[in-house]
Structure 1
């Protein structure tokens, strides 16, 4: 039987951000209100929640420091609504005018920034049948893994394209004891249709963590379209919440059961069975 003391409600949002800071903030405020009304203690917003540029270089023009007015509005929103916010993919001003950082900001229910994770894996890809992306041309990659204790459990922070690199998630779980993995994203339509769900479920299964994946959706501009499928997945790999309409703006809600994490890990103790890197020898040796 589930212990209510070990259960906490979370929400994940889906939206179509555009190149209008005020409009996006209005949408996020509405989603926060829906999440608090549902009893959620954490709301996860997708990558680029506050802004998606319509033209090359537009994101650089609005990039700000973490103490700038854009993020201050979201911190105030968290404080006034008494909810934690996962703000995935904020355009943080970089070391020069030609670069920014794609930064996942975790804000607590007092409006304080608790952690910042700068996206490690940058999306430099010629999407089959789609556009060419070169995130590294204007983004500085991060170097550090980030975990943070919260009322929702021990959170591991990632962003979008990180999802394709399982070593990061393995480290968050086995070296840093993450219980819940946050994956805010703006996946392309082509790659999302092919790989989004299966990658998310794989990360949950192999780490025995909850995975919360907040997605951008739909057409942001003439040049950009995202694959929407906002999901919450449990440590057994089961989808426990999913927005029924991939193109709609809204939230999904689920209860994170910390005792279920323990139960899965006890019954299948992969942390005890894992062999350290370097354990195996190649056949040529």
Structure 2
């Protein structure tokens, strides 16, 4: 577990990783320990990964363990946030769908809890991971049991700045990150459970690209290690600054102890966001949407 105390007046964020299993009680024990350690280290906001609540070993188990936002898991985290006076980003909660009794489908929901223990925002994952990579050991179809979220959530004002919410596969869609930046985000967050194959190839480069193109901090909590016999995650929970530099990395499965939970503490310097944008005003240079649509139409007509 890596801790770095703040040497300035900048707020501190804790970016965490863990190895969720189908055992919800054990997962909460790890999550609670991470939040407590982060608060002790001076963090005012703690980021937990996608599937912090559990990772099921089958479709049936995944659905059987799902809860509503008023269920025991979120209730325990709201109590923890209130007790420790800390904000939480719970990066991918298996939320029962609104028509649960009829269709038994879920949302993959990013839940923000404030330091009073109240829900500050809920974003339901827009882009679902339906991917087959023959020869790389990746075969997942999230849409088989998950409902895509209907819309983006506006960035949330927190003690570390305005946070724009995504989840895992959303990372591959720059349109989402740019939309959140236009709505005022200083920080983007992509809590994830990246597969080992896709993580090794794309995780860091995508996170750094999202930071560079939006000139935001990017904070990405992650799952790491083996969850059960058929599922493993890449790890390397990262924090990236607005220039695209990695300022925190929890390491991957090769790091001793990484499967038992870890974190990095990162100072969030909002002046660095403003300075980066002043020095290279990319957003001011961007042409309007009509310009790009015109270019697409010209290409289609050639």
Q: TM-score, length-normalised on structure 2?
A: 0.90
Which residue of 1 is the match for residue 284 of structure 2? 272
Give runs of aligned pairs for residues 177-256 of structure 1, distance below 5 A.
Answer: 177-246=184-253, 247=255, 248=258, 249-256=261-268
Which residue of 1 is the match for residue 116 of structure 2? 110
Offset at residue 55 of structure 1 (A): 2.2
**1: CA distance between counterparts of 2:106 and 2:50?**
14
Equivalent of residue 181 in structure 2, options 164, 173, 187: 173
Give runs of aligned pairs for residues 72-111 of structure 1, distance below 5 A.
Answer: 72-94=75-97, 95-96=99-100, 97-111=103-117
Please state if 1:137 is matched with 2:144: yes
Which residue of 1 is the match for residue 14 of structure 2? 11
- CA 1:244–1:65 in 2, change beyond 3 Å: closer, same or farther? closer
**Helix, strand or coil: the match of 1:109?**
coil
**Helix, strand or coil: the match of 2:291?**
coil
Offset at residue 219 of structure 1 (A): 0.5
Which residue of 2 is the match for residue 161 of structure 1? 169
**2: CA distance between counterparts of 1:81 and 1:18?**
26
**Helix, strand or coil: the match of 1:143?**
coil
Q: Deviations over 1:2-30 (max 9, x none)?
A: x945x210011111000011100000111
Offset at residue 213 of structure 1 (A): 0.5
Which residue of 1 is the match for residue 39 of structure 2? 36
**2: CA distance between counterparts of 1:24 and 1:209?**
30
Show structure 2 runs of 5+ residues with no match.
1-6
* Contact 1:34 1:251 (C-alpha < 8 Å) held by counterparts: no
Moved more, 202-211 or 124-133: 124-133
Moved more, 195-204 or 64-73: 64-73
Offset at residue 145 of structure 1 (A): 1.1
Q: TM-score, length-normalised on structure 1?
A: 0.95
* Contact 1:65 1:92 (C-alpha < 8 Å) held by counterparts: yes
Q: Deviations over 1:234-272 (max 9, x none)?
A: 000001111245450211011000111000000001111
Which residue of 2 is the match for residue 149 of structure 1? 157
**2: CA distance between counterparts of 1:168 and 1:104?**
15
**1: CA distance between counterparts of 2:59 and 2:72?**
23
Show structure 1 runs of 5+ residues with no match.
none
Count, aligned residues: 282
**2: CA distance between counterparts of 1:17 and 1:224?**
10
Please state if 1:119 is matched with 2:125: yes
